[in-house]
Structure 1
Amino acid sequence: MAQRVRELMASAPVEMDARTSVHEAAKKMREADIGDVLVTENGTLCGIVTDRDIVVRALAATEDLSGHRLGDICSRQLITVRPDEDADDAIARMREHAIRRIAVVEDSRPVGMLSIGDAAVEKDPRSALADISAAPANA
């Protein structure tokens, strides 16, 4: 039987309001050992910010991040999947859109995050990506 997204996703994704400072989001990513946060406005999912976004869209643009908010730098063209979707279809969608992470949404609310690394660990455990993704984080 085909695997479903819910079998591969990380549940309870970190959500932060669009008005949250970039600095606060970076601290949360470090504390939670994650590479992304989902961005909400008025409780509705509106984007995603990755650690790379913080570097490329914020830090590279200015040294002073005090005025930058997540809503200023998040990717707003979200690609999402449902937890009951076929995992292979979700991976194909990630490939099609050249994204490494995809928000898992149910009833318009984020319920998880699927990363290409999570998928590799489960679906191709002998791959280099699976090895890297399964390794403990370096501090």
Structure 2
Amino acid sequence: MTQHVRDIMTADPVTVEPQASVTQVARIMRDEDLGAVLVTDGDDLRGLVTDRDLVVRALAEGGDPEQTTVAGACSDDLVTVGPDDELDVAIRLMREHSVRRIPVVDHGHPVGIVSLGDAAMERDPDSALGDISVARPNT
């Protein structure tokens, strides 16, 4: 049976505008228990920012996190998939581009995120990655 991205993606992703501060985005990630949010300009996808991006591309540079916008920390050279794409396509793209998350776009607008953890839970829930993906955060 063919699986599609829509079957495992996280729908209704959290989005922020490019002008949002690093501090604002970090708080959203903490409060929503997220590792990534999409950066949108209106309804258009502009990028994806992860908790690691905030640390490596923003905080480590020494800027004021209240004044530094997420636009400079986000990945903007994105690989995307559609909700009707086969899950195998998303997994192949993750491998080819060495990414753990791919935005899901429908008619140019973001509708979800599919992650390596989502795929692991679906394909091999007893794997170490599957176990880690369903575990409660260690905060």
How many residue pairs get aligned? The number is: 139
TM-score, normalising length from structure 1?
Answer: 0.96
Alpha-carbon distance between aligned partners in 1 of 2:88 and 2:126, rounded to the nearest angstrom: 18
- Tell me the residue number matched to 2:77: 77
Structure 1 runs of 4+ with >4 Å offset:
none
User: Does structure 1 residue 44 correspond to structure 2 residue 44?
Assistant: yes
**2:29, 2:37 within 8 Å by CA — same for their partners in 1?**
yes
In the TM superposition, 1:26-65 aligns within 5 A as: 26-62=26-62, 64-65=64-65
TM-score, normalising length from structure 2?
Answer: 0.96
SS of 2:113 mapped into structure 1: strand
- Tell me the residue number matched to 1:130: 130
Letter in 2 for 1:93: L
Q: Deviations 1:97-133 (Å, cap 9, x if unpaired)?
A: 0000000000111111001001100111111000000
SS of 1:13 mapped into structure 2: coil
Q: CA RMSD in A?
A: 1.0
Alpha-carbon distance between aligned partners in 2 of 1:76 and 1:53, rounded to the nearest angstrom: 12
Alpha-carbon distance between aligned partners in 2 of 1:43 and 1:122, rounded to the nearest angstrom: 29
Alpha-carbon distance between aligned partners in 2 of 1:54 and 1:100, rounded to the nearest angstrom: 16
**2:44, 2:110 within 8 Å by CA — same for their partners in 1?**
no
Unpaired stretches in structure 2, ≥5 consecutive residues: none
Alpha-carbon distance between aligned partners in 2 of 1:109 and 1:42, rounded to the nearest angstrom: 10
Q: Percent identity?
A: 50
- Tell me the residue number matched to 2:2: 2
Alpha-carbon distance between aligned partners in 2 of 1:104 and 1:15, rounded to the nearest angstrom: 13
Q: Deviations 1:65-104 (Å, cap 9, x if unpaired)?
A: 1221011111110110000000011101011000000000
Alpha-carbon distance between aligned partners in 2 of 1:55 and 1:39, rounded to the nearest angstrom: 16
Letter in 2 for 1:14: V
